[in-house]
Structure 1
Amino acid sequence: MSAKASVREVLDKVRAEGRDSLTAPEGKQICDAYGIPTPGEGLATTADEAARLAEEIGGSLALKIVSPDILHKTEAGGVIIGVEGGAAASEAFDKIIANALAYKESASITGVQVQQMVGGGHEVIVGATTDPTFGKIVAFGLGGVLVEVLKDVTFRLAPIDSAEAKSMVNGIKAAEVLQGARGAKSVDIDALADVLQKVSALVTDFPEISEFDLNPVFASPEGAIAADVRILLETGETVEPVKHSRDEILRVMNRMMYPDAVAVIGASSEDGKIGNSVMKNLINGGYAGEIYPINPKADEILGKKAYKSISDVPGDVDVAVFAIPAKFVPQALTECGTKGVPAAVLIPSGFAETGNQELQDEIVAIAQKSGVRMLGPNIYGYYSTWHNLCATFCTPYDVRGGVALTSQSGGIGMAILGFSRTTKMGVSAIVGLGNKSDIDEDDLLTFFEQDDNTQCVAMHLEDLKDGRAFVEAAQRITKKKPVVVLKAGRTAMGAKAASSHTGALAGDDKVYDDILRQAGVVRAPGLNEMLEYARGLPLLPTPKGENVVIITGAGGSGVLLSDACVEEGLSLMEIPPDLDEAFRAFIPPFGAAGNPIDITGGEPPSTYEATIRLGLEDPRIHALILGYWHTIVTPPMVFAELTSRVVEEYRAKGIDKPVVASLAGDTEVEQACDYLFDHKVVAYPYTTEKPVAVLGAKYRWARAAGLIKP
């Protein structure tokens, strides 16, 4: 019988009996079928059978109650360990049965599991659970009694390959212990990775397995063996998210983001109305396509012929922007479907966000039936700057560039707009997602991936509707373009009611953290960081290696910049003797070579220029961090101009390295930083952390995309 057939037989039997959990012997059958190592064991239904099994297996044994009604065996007095010999096993059998019946008189008892005791090495946990956002995920971490105390655990989407499995084993905080700290032998990493792969394959092949625990798994230099198995099954129906093909997504998104004709349903001539603001933004923003105001009570709005219904519009409409009360949306959406409008942008509130889930379900059903994709509801609209499209009731924005920004929240959307205006950040799009009744982040990523006007994507999100679809889209785009994510709700949601360690551990932000990293995105810790990453990442070239060098005019800044590098996972280059000597030729005797290179504060512009040139010229250096100190000898704008000039000169020669700068000084350094940013040098006043954080984000993306040579 094949492995899958063996597992199917066991699972069908369990479900036919109306159970949602497997007994330990059934769990062993599952493990045996997939080659997951477990100890030698047998099931005893009498004391005599327990004695016989004890003699056959030999050595020290653990006896455990087998009952579908008793999941927590130790709590019920259903586990006795260190049993040796037939007589002791017979006695332990009787005691376990008595304890179990005392714990739960009505319990159905299958028997007692007689299991070879295993130990030695380190206790780890290998598990899988069904996450409401991401579906099947696998977990690895420290096991045994430590698992829920230390929570040193990592997660990945299932299935995983060998490389991903090894990254899990080597990715926990205690990895050094497993790898052989203080001269100890390393555990068999390959054996642990193999167990992880097999568990991920099992839960992928059998999605009805809701939770799977191997805890503890004893990991040693000789291999890995699971001492305890717990398997839980889904009992209810699972609803799969609606899936759209990539071609279908692009067909709609291209028409929505670059429309030839826009209809405004609820257009108005009255100042203060949302339909009036949307019309003004479209007209005044320079949108060159057709604009069709829809209002049954008007003949003309802002110089444009108005129509009673979208059905009356003579030509094709690519996108309909809704600016009407929620109760009128279903009828208007039905008319959009009849007209063949591919996309509807729903600004109105009054749906699920106010508790009116029924109305939202109604419009979703209408949209699905009529083939209309919906953005929203409950959004501020969207901007597509390269098409001069400002389909929103908020203030207009027209600085074109390569950054696409999205937000689930209207308030965050306005913060994005304000930041963009203040910093003059060039954007390709700003999109509100609101309730995400239909179009969500993976639709947008699919569009931005192939959009030539977008070089970087930054997304604020509170949740993901279909985490697996998001990861698939993110893994494609991040090979070419950075994606920054600000995930709201970083604090632990609390362990959900779960019957397994893995299920309980998966109840907090660590799942999002690990799987977003698996997707290749850069996670921002806060809103300002998300916006600064979005602003800075497109300006920085991709580094060709890990060697980072700090050149600073202030020793104190150098120390703080070094601390920031450690925090961001950047590698400060160990300066070789010849390069050390070359730097020393330009700095005073009381300065300091090494890394950071301290040129001291009293040096003229020529010292800054010479050391920056050397940093750019030497191919062993891959990125530069500059620490500037405001002095009369080298004023801020002099530093900014010389740095920009030198960096541009080397770019013209084909030498383009990431250069970031921290400027300490009086208020004049603010203008200097603006000048540097304008010349593609990421620079900040009054902070050593921000420029290093942006450089760190660039490195995290480049590593995930496989663009840095080892």
Structure 2
Amino acid sequence: MTQQNKAVVRAVLDAALAKGRKALTAPEAKLIADAYAVPVPAEALAECADEAVALADRIGFPVALKIVSPQIVHKTDAGGVRTGLATAAAVRAAFTSIVSNARAYDPAAEIKGVQVQQMVPAGTEVLVGTVTDPTFGKVVAFGIGGVLVEVVKDITFRLAPASRDDALSMLDSIRAAEILRGVRGGAAVDRTALAELIVGVSRLAADFPEIAEIDLNPVFASADGVMAADVRILLDPQPVKPRRTYSRAEILTSMRRLMEPRSVAVIGASNEAGKIGNSVMRNLVDGGFPGEIHPVNPRADDILGRKAYKSVMDVPGEPDVAVFAIPAKFVAAALEETGRKGIPNAVLIPSGFAETGEQALQEEIVAIAERYGVRILGPNIYGYYSTWQDLCATFCTPYDVKGGVALTSQSGGIGMAILGFARTTKTGVSAIVGLGNKSDLDEDDLLTWFGEDPHTECIAMHLEDLKDGRAFVDAARATVPKKPVVVLKAGRTGAGARAAGSHTGALAGDDAVYDDILRQAGVIRAPGLNDMLEYARSLPVLPAPKGDNVVVITGAGGSGVLLSDAIVDNGLSLMEIPADLDAAFKAFIPPFGAAGNPIDITGGEPPSTYEATIRLGLEDPRIHALVLGYWHTIVTPPMVFAELTARVVAEFRERGIEKPVVASLAGDVEVEEACQYLFERGVVAYPYTTEKPVEVLGAKYRWARAAGVLG
């Protein structure tokens, strides 16, 4: 955009804000639309009926008339809109009626006149708009428009400013995308013009922070181009307080000392069993942390056989982390000493801050930490685990199974569920981290670290909100090409749509924006806690797929049907089996079985049939993933199936042929042991469910597409 374009917008906004207004009039909105090349109809302002008739004659019949008043934002609700006026008499009557309706709707409203507008050419009615989201900032929206927009709710969101590729992806992301391509002989809309409109509107919102919402509804899209019939712009004069940010290098430096410390001080360490300070000390000592552990307690000489210090200032050397296990009211003073000592990380376990209404106390500790350059984890957390360092800095039960899964939670209760799940499933973890109030360190800091951590292969995060959605998106985009990121966003249904002054704002419920923008960042969103945990332990087990062709091999026809349904539900593609491959499968299955896809080998077949068909599925390069449906029989017992499957998969892996293989095992309790056996050997297997293994495979495919590794 040229400087002159921006100058026009700047002048319009400044004039409106100087009068304390929070909405622009239609003529003002047209000036801004023209400045940013937003196609709008020819129009002019009439202050009397005669003037309206003259303008209509100049613009050309038919015309639309709309009330112009700074106080009346929703013109239709006020009876302030008339369309399709084809004669001078109709314009005159409409003018009188509109003004009368507006005065009855809001007697105090300032009536500036009536806007006479060219009728817009016919086309598909869509909506283009922007909102200022509390998490992600400026966000652009696109969807089906018109009077039923809030009923249909077919809309998608992207960060603003949007790129041309973002805009084109939005056209394909709504449920009614096929309408834009032309249906029942109708012409497709001009996708280039529509994408340019989305980009331009998103740039306008990003360029001017005081624009709270833009609402273009309806926009008429046709093969000949696009035109916005109505432009509504709402203002917010309150500037957003900038959040303190850190560079990637600064984040990695502080996170390295947090996650790989050589020395830890425990403020509030105790010899008394049942105290948090005692549990933290015991976990550090019993967990085998090889670095220095320095208890701090002014009333003790030694704790668990280690010299205790009166103050953190007395601790020798330069500790990397100070773990706080003292009441909230003492934290500020101890944090001041921590800062003066030069300790870069404070892990605040105590509660009693913003979560209990003590916002001022939390702001005080944040100010102290910023003054000294201390990064805060918490407060109100269970602590954290860094298993590859044998570090268990928490009052919860210890955990020491090393592996590639990093898990974080905003909630302590969810943290304990994560711990229990990891223990039950023998999931190897690289870290488990509590975030609590997120007064400072949050998901984007952890994601930046885990993205570079060689011990971490998959990151799964439970969160209730994001402090800085854009920072999280940036961190996710840097991480996803290297490893999957799974998010469980709590509060999916609680917030609903916020009260807003535009259709776009009303549709921008918290979850709708989260859903689209997390997907835009390549994040895998888990629908529930168990899903998040299962994705986390399963995704590192599965190799990346090299194509879309999925084949189902099953010993039970019923399972095959359910597995096929799950494949469709998860956006996967059942391979169309070519004739030669169909014949190859038929050679191994009985005449009453069924080739095609699913391949039903029937339940009475011996282990050799399972093995032969699995071998063929792995051997043929046209097949990219296998879904196995096992049925418990005497002929092929569960562990026999598990052992042969694991052996064949391992054999092909040694030959350099790796494909994702998932399995659903239906049977008696012996299938549980068989599933665990398979899981430990690279086959993601679940008992009693046809949905779960395919959901995991679907998650792997979503990551592969986002990471650009799908062949």
Task: Say whether 1:211 aligns with 2:213.
Answer: yes
Candidates 463, 478, 481, aligned match of 1:476: 478
SS of residue in 1 equivalent to 2:110: coil
The answer for the alignment partner of 2:433 in structure 1 is 431
**Partners in 1 of 2:658 and 2:378 — Cα distance?**
41
The letter for the 1-side match of 2:654 is A
The answer for the alignment partner of 1:300 in structure 2 is 302
**Partners in 2 of 1:182 and 1:389 — Cα distance?**
64
Deviation at 1:451, TM superposition (A): 0.4
Deviation at 1:102, TM superposition (A): 3.1
Q: 1:142-221 to 2 correspondence within 5 Å?
A: 142-221=144-223
**Partners in 2 of 1:323 and 1:102 — Cα distance?**
64
Candidates 609, 612, 627, aligned match of 1:610: 612
The letter for the 2-side match of 1:468 is R
The answer for the alignment partner of 1:678 in structure 2 is 680
Deviation at 1:137, TM superposition (A): 0.5
The answer for the alignment partner of 2:227 in structure 1 is 225
**Partners in 1 of 2:589 and 2:509 — Cα distance?**
54
Candidates 237, 240, 244, aligned match of 1:238: 240
The letter for the 1-side match of 2:172 is N
Deviation at 1:492, TM superposition (A): 4.8
- Aligned sequence identity (%): 72
Greater mean alpha carbon deviation, residues 564-573 or residues 351-360? 351-360
The letter for the 2-side match of 1:89 is V
**Partners in 2 of 1:77 and 1:666 — Cα distance?**
68
Q: 1:681-692 to 2 correspondence within 5 Å?
A: 681-692=683-694
Task: Say whether 1:535 aligns with 2:544.
Answer: no
Candidates 51, 68, 71, aligned match of 1:69: 71
Task: Say whether 1:696 aligns with 2:701.
Answer: no
The answer for the alignment partner of 1:383 in structure 2 is 385
Task: Say whether 1:525 aligns with 2:527.
Answer: yes
The letter for the 2-side match of 1:384 is S
Judge conservation of contact 1:62–1:82 (CA < 8 Å) in 2. yes
Task: Say whether 1:569 aligns with 2:568.
Answer: no
Candidates 442, 458, 461, aligned match of 1:459: 461
Deviation at 1:87, TM superposition (A): 4.5
**Partners in 2 of 1:596 and 1:94 — Cα distance?**
69
Deviation at 1:47, TM superposition (A): 2.7
The letter for the 1-side match of 2:207 is D
SS of residue in 2 equivalent to 1:230: strand
The letter for the 2-side match of 1:664 is A
Judge conservation of contact 2:554–2:599 (CA < 8 Å) in 1. yes
**Partners in 1 of 2:266 and 2:6 — Cα distance?**
55
Deviation at 1:124, TM superposition (A): 1.1
**Partners in 1 of 2:520 and 2:48 — Cα distance?**
50
SS of residue in 1 equivalent to 2:346: strand
Deviation at 1:185, TM superposition (A): 2.1
The answer for the alignment partner of 2:82 in structure 1 is 80
Deviation at 1:577, TM superposition (A): 0.7
**Partners in 1 of 2:377 and 2:510 — Cα distance?**
29
The letter for the 2-side match of 1:280 is R
SS of residue in 1 equivalent to 2:540: helix
Judge conservation of contact 2:210–2:238 (CA < 8 Å) in 1. no
The answer for the alignment partner of 1:636 in structure 2 is 638
Judge conservation of contact 2:430–2:456 (CA < 8 Å) in 1. yes
The answer for the alignment partner of 2:602 in structure 1 is 600
**Partners in 2 of 1:255 and 1:681 — Cα distance?**
36
Q: 1:276-287 to 2 correspondence within 5 Å?
A: 276-287=278-289
The letter for the 2-side match of 1:158 is A
**Partners in 2 of 1:356 and 1:209 — Cα distance?**
33
**Partners in 2 of 1:106 and 1:511 — Cα distance?**
36
Deviation at 1:20, TM superposition (A): 1.3
Judge conservation of contact 1:492–1:508 (CA < 8 Å) in 2. no
Deviations 1:319-372 (A, max 9, x none): 000000111000000000000000000000111111111111111111111111
Deviations 1:185-244 (A, max 9, x none): 222222221111111111011111100000011112222111001001112232122211
**Partners in 2 of 1:352 and 1:72 — Cα distance?**
38
**Partners in 2 of 1:378 and 1:106 — Cα distance?**
50
The answer for the alignment partner of 1:491 in structure 2 is 493
Judge conservation of contact 1:124–1:144 (CA < 8 Å) in 2. yes
SS of residue in 1 equivalent to 2:161: coil
The answer for the alignment partner of 2:335 in structure 1 is 333
The letter for the 2-side match of 1:703 is R
Runs of 4+ off more than 6 Å: none
Deviation at 1:304, TM superposition (A): 0.8
**TM-score scaled by structure 1?**
0.98
Greater mean alpha carbon deviation, residues 506-515 or residues 78-87? 78-87
The answer for the alignment partner of 1:26 in structure 2 is 28
The answer for the alignment partner of 2:710 in structure 1 is 708
Deviation at 1:95, TM superposition (A): 3.2
**Partners in 1 of 2:529 and 2:107 — Cα distance?**
56
Deviation at 1:538, TM superposition (A): 0.3
**Partners in 2 of 1:661 and 1:91 — Cα distance?**
72
SS of residue in 2 equivalent to 1:172: coil
SS of residue in 2 equivalent to 1:538: coil
**Partners in 1 of 2:391 and 2:304 — Cα distance?**
17
Judge conservation of contact 2:41–2:227 (CA < 8 Å) in 1. yes
SS of residue in 2 equivalent to 1:438: coil
**Partners in 2 of 1:689 and 1:411 — Cα distance?**
27
Unaligned runs of 5+ in 2: none
Judge conservation of contact 1:492–1:507 (CA < 8 Å) in 2. no
Deviation at 1:606, TM superposition (A): 1.0
**Partners in 2 of 1:582 and 1:183 — Cα distance?**
43
The letter for the 2-side match of 1:473 is A
**Partners in 1 of 2:165 and 2:548 — Cα distance?**
21
**Partners in 1 of 2:662 and 2:101 — Cα distance?**
68
Judge conservation of contact 2:553–2:598 (CA < 8 Å) in 1. yes
Candidates 436, 443, 451, aligned match of 2:445: 443
SS of residue in 1 equivalent to 2:91: helix
The letter for the 1-side match of 2:99 is I
Candidates 106, 109, 118, aligned match of 2:108: 106
**Partners in 1 of 2:698 and 2:105 — Cα distance?**
56
Deviation at 1:495, TM superposition (A): 2.6
**Partners in 2 of 1:290 and 1:75 — Cα distance?**
69
SS of residue in 2 equivalent to 1:144: coil
Judge conservation of contact 2:210–2:239 (CA < 8 Å) in 1. no
SS of residue in 1 equivalent to 2:184: helix
Candidates 366, 369, 372, aligned match of 2:368: 366
Deviation at 1:318, TM superposition (A): 0.2
Deviation at 1:183, TM superposition (A): 3.4
The answer for the alignment partner of 1:7 in structure 2 is 9
Candidates 42, 45, 68, aligned match of 1:43: 45
Judge conservation of contact 2:209–2:239 (CA < 8 Å) in 1. no
Judge conservation of contact 2:63–2:85 (CA < 8 Å) in 1. yes
Provide closer, same or farther for how the CA distance between residues 595 and 183 of structure 1 changes in structure 2, counting only shifts above 3 A: farther
**Partners in 2 of 1:424 and 1:677 — Cα distance?**
10
**Partners in 1 of 2:275 and 2:477 — Cα distance?**
41
Deviations 1:507-526 (A, max 9, x none): 24111111111111101011
Q: 1:242-261 to 2 correspondence within 5 Å?
A: 242-261=244-263
Judge conservation of contact 2:451–2:483 (CA < 8 Å) in 1. yes
**Aligned residues, how many?**
709
**Partners in 2 of 1:565 and 1:75 — Cα distance?**
46
Candidates 29, 52, 55, aligned match of 1:53: 55
Judge conservation of contact 1:58–1:85 (CA < 8 Å) in 2. no
Greater mean alpha carbon deviation, residues 384-393 or residues 19-28? 19-28
Deviations 1:246-289 (A, max 9, x none): 11111110000000000000001111111111111101111000
The letter for the 2-side match of 1:576 is P
Deviation at 1:46, TM superposition (A): 2.9
**TM-score scaled by structure 2?**
0.98
Deviation at 1:152, TM superposition (A): 1.0
